[in-house]
């Protein structure tokens, strides 16, 4: 007997791209307009750091160094989060970041009957990415707001290197799965969002 089709109330989208590509901003806008929940492992982890939880103390030096948090920590975090949702209408921002994470996520979503619909890759030249991140830090400092530890040129460049070495293989993974959609991430936020809308039809 054929497996039942994906329930119409489930929708899972992944945003891919290097740090500074605008994943968070665009994912948040799409989530608001399509009735989805944006899941940012970065936000969740930074919240733990700010609250000085056991997990926060464990990952704080990792985040400050611009390195990737171990897979087993992130996968457990996602499993715990998804288990509390009645309907999987979500956008992943910043997860998965490695092929093993993607494979673990696929297994989890298969169990839940909500496979990934699309993996959207935002493409932006490296030097523009570095400029965006440094400017984000400058604006936060000028406004008297806390500056994220990763909003410096040194850490930004290190994160770009980590991305190229460890995260970029996800592009090939989702391409081979037939779920990759490449989107030009340059230009105004409205321009980029318009391109994203053209590739994703909310269910």
Which residues sit in the known binding site for ATP?
A: 20-25, 136, 187
Burial classification of residue 95, based on how many CB atoms lie within 10 Å of its CB (0-12 exposed, 13-18 middle, 19 or more buried): buried
Known binding residues for AMP are 41, 46, 67-69, 94-97, 101, 148, 159
The overall longest dimension of the chain from CA atoms, in Å, is 62
Known binding residues are 20-25, 41, 46, 67-69, 94-97, 101, 136, 148, 159, 187
DSSP, residue by residue, 2-53: PPPPPPTT-EEEEEE--TTSSHHHHHHHHHHHHT-EEEEHHHHHHHHHHHT-
In the chain, where does DSSP find H-type helix? 23-34, 41-51, 54-64, 71-82, 99-112, 126-142, 153-162, 169-176, 189-199
Which two three-digit tokens encode residue 166? 């460890």
Q: Are 170 and 98 in contact (CB under 8 A)?
A: yes
The structure tokens 């400017």 sit at: 135
């Amino acid at each position: 007997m054929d497996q039942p089709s994906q329930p119409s109330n489930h929708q899972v989208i992944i945003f891919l791209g290097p740090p500074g590509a605008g994943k968070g901003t665009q994912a948040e806008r799409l989530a608001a307009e399509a009735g989805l929940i944006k899941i940012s492992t970065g936000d969740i982890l930074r919240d733990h750091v700010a609250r000085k939880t056991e997990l926060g103390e464990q990952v704080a030096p990792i985040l400050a160094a611009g390195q990737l948090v171990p897979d087993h920590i992130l996968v457990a975090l996602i499993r715990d989060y998804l288990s509390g949702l009645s309907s999987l209408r979500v956008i992943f921002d910043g997860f998965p970041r490695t092929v093993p994470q993607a494979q673990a996520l696929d297994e989890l979503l298969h169990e839940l009957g909500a496979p990934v619909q699309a993996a959207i890759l935002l493409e932006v030249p490296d030097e523009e990415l570095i400029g965006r991140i440094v400017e984000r830090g400058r604006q936060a400092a000028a406004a008297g707001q806390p500056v994220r530890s990763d909003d410096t040129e040194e850490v930004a460049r290190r994160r770009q290197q980590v991305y190229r070495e460890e995260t970029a293989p996800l592009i090939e993974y989702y391409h081979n799965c037939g779920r990759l959609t490449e989107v030009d991430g340059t230009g105004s936020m409205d321009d980029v969002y318009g391109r994203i809308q053209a590739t994703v039809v909310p269910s």
